[in-house]
Structure 1
């Protein structure tokens, strides 16, 4: 259409069809194209798909962003329900009880790309939470997850709910973004306030293991402790201008609908955190003022109830100022195989941010009790004193106290930062601390762990050497103080003092020597790990060489028998030449790996370069094995890891490759391998994907354990007769040790489209200081 035709049609539309806003907008946009004096940016609709793929590459990231959006909307609870999600094409329903959105917020917030709302309002409206979602990524997250989105949202003051439907498949290239309209209507409210997202035709499969991974992924914003009961009225009623509503916390629950329409809870704070506590310690004050406690531990078979009085020496003396007090604490002991490895890392990470005992008064949180660095129960101080040896710091507990204080025995300070330290508050601290220590000591007794520094055990000391040295030093200091008080000959006291001072210096030297020995041991351990990984690499390499030697011997035998047949000889010579060329490329890579171990200096590694070198050396071997090894994908630039040893990445990549090769061989079909690397939240990541037979849910964590393998032969003869790569059960364990030693993470993640397995490694990136040091 020319300019005059567009003008005429626009005039007719405004006159006869003025409610057809989509047509008016399309014609106006087309008419603006004839403006020769001004130009305007336009946006292709295909940008939605490209941004969804680039900004939210992983399904875990996409879901976590939507959970964070519920958190930012001041939700107390969010539930995620997966339907028919074992195969591609299922449905995900995300339902929260946040403040919801009105029409203006929905249109100018969610539907506006690169909205500045979070810049202008960094804190949430109701609970003043620091907003955690990434700016503008939510809409791309839902596009990444499924083909169709339905939003149902309502605010407290709105009479109706809003329903918006978006068909993402309409956002194709060669269409102007502004010309695609989405239906929005008013419907009856489903609840007082909150938002529901219905994502249909999911683009990925969602197993139980994948759902649990998402829970761990978003757990950094989930408070890992029960919440006080908050009535709907108290949370929604209008507050005075100078009154803040305390944040009641945020809980998420992940569910899945099974084939029989049974709703099964896959992940929540109970299954992912509380169930892994060593013990649960409960305490309450009865009607007479006596403290009652219970200690339960399935791991240690403890189930007992006891009594605590105000007087430590007399449990029958009641607490005069306490009533309507209850508390619960979950007790954790780390690094002793008391928590499943797949959960321990998450729980430890949470404990550093949210460990401790929170305090709620009349249903609302009282700060700063239980915040990072707050030691209101003197648990960390008790650890320092070492009068009780079993661990019992704030990081070892997740818990809360509930006070029903209608008589206002516990009063806030004038600054509203905490409670006044009156007699009631001191008794509260006394009761909770002694109850917690009772539980700690009881579990220590059951584990046969040393409780006090003077305690001994026949045949074996409880404490480590460094602890024993400190105990001796403390004993000498106490003896020194006693001698100062002692009356007697001054010369005798001086000689004693001199001997004690010398002994102190000797002990200090022992402690310093022990530290040096420990450093040496750690260095040796690191070297052994590297040498072990190289040895394993060589072992795998030698097994691979057998294939080439067999082929070469066959070719040579054939040439000797068919020497007179020129055409056949030429064809076989070409094959032999290709095999030798591949063999040389293959061996040169491992020759470099061995050479790198001559120098033990650690340097930042540009991950993409390391991957490409590996790919060039291995791709011919993959082709020979009937595997399509795609050229590595780089999602970011300048991917320098923190200083590492080059051979460690060689070991990692070769282990991943041989595992993928075995998995593809088991499918007895051609396969595909893909490597992707990029940058995410100060971490450099690598994802290694294959189309092998996959990893079962029960084995997703076991594969990183030493000696776990599915490919070991039963007898030695099978090694000689089998042409399969033999599994030792050490490869992925070594890979995990390498990654963990650099404070990185390794895990099985949900596979990308058309792949069956994906292993993801995350390594901290090099700091500017490290890059400057190495001139990078």
Structure 2
């Protein structure tokens, strides 16, 4: 080993003594000398690592292109020109020019040629315009290797007289088996005009064949690389510091000499797409982590705001803006064209420091889980229904960091909270839109058309009058005309009969929907209460087993546990009978005269444990106790009681009622059986009293975790209203008794037998 070290030492001394250094030879000897260090070891980097950085970390060509655009923006460029040549052929050329600050040879050595440099971390603000630098990982420059096999880099600073040129042959130079530090790229300096500045990347032998559709997709991506709408400009320069920077003239992207507004005419967002939105949804988080929502609709003529009940301090201050589209011919004149735009452009994108973060907002990316999971059952919306952006900054949202591959954010707790905040806002806004949209719509009464107004009867009258009007014509002509009209009348009668049959089917279908809705509620109750009963049963059995194994010395305690097991089992049996009765009546769709005393008694018994959990006192009375309704579905009464109950629980929780009490009474008033449901909540505000029975109108939070009361979706009171109307009854707000804050009254006709008895 000594001889080897001596040989290396001698060879290195010889190279250093020469008048002209052979830097490649010195580098090689230095590496070999370090490798023989007996007391230490060092990392070395294979030359092919460049390929992995460029081609593997930056997986998509559009991501690679975006990194190069970000570099130009970070260099204070006011424009970047992207020119494809022979892009429809393998091995084409891509030339990217900008008018940024440019680089010196020292900049190239210390920053551009250094892997994962921290220069932008140390200098997060650009020197001329004070921009918050978008590229921060130090690997964006190797995106050029992803795009092509060769690169000619030309760059010049404004005050320099020479342009610097460096050539890279990624395929032939950076091969596996060579050390990265031993690969050299010669620097050439060329005389240039002193006032010119910027950087040009001439990327040769493009790796991908670019079809016309690929090119359009790239344009679409570049179109949204920066928001196509104004977003708040934020950077990490303080107010005082920003005064030292020159005014930012903006940043434009050109592809093949076209600006983004000129390139693809069908992407004229403002006139052909955004003008068709149903509503504009906005949300923001302040410095204290408080969230706020706002929805405005010019079509539906309303604007409302809401405060979030959660805190988003971990996310940091941000803003987002989303256009919401409902593809309905009643709202959009050219609905097919609008839907086409929605499929092309729809999605909610994320922008960080003014630049887009992929893949959020792509057609195949469901980062908010709008399509999959439980959320779509409420929203009933996809990416194509939304178009907007979330604006983040690295300064105010440091926990929302991009991954090393620059394709997405790190999915940490802050990211999950961000998703929760946007989803909460979208759910709230969509429900508000639905509420205003359906406010004037009401459940169909399905009243048959009076016989004297049916078209066939009107036509028959015309036939009867025809002989008098046609008496001057020959008899044969009269008969021919009347015969033709009768044929028309016959066809008209057939169509009326068919429509009446379809109308009856619609009635049955609507009733079935209400029944299924009530059945779903019962199943939810069953699953919750059954789970609780089974848990209690298992606990009792475990205690019983433990005591039995301890030699049965305490028979009294054992008997107590036996009693608990027996009571829990009985509760489970009663609950099973209750749900079986619900399902049976729902499936058969039979109507009956509902005995209100038995229904209310059974209902309260099933929810007694739940009411005890919430420390709610329950009082009820039915007078007379034999009071029955007219024919209706058994499950409909349960749905009414359940929706009143959940609203009451949420109202008392919101108002922090000291005494939580519910009072239910059923009485006969005239020809109606009226259920009064009262609670000690704060009541209904005057400004929403005329809207509480609208579909999708809700005042409850969307993030409520209670299994029974659940999140409000704005359908509960609408269902109650529909049940009342279809049974020729009513539901209304009424004056509560002393000590109560809210009262709902639900009335339906009493049974025909009781009606006759009352008349007698």
Indicate whether the TM-score tops 0.5.
no
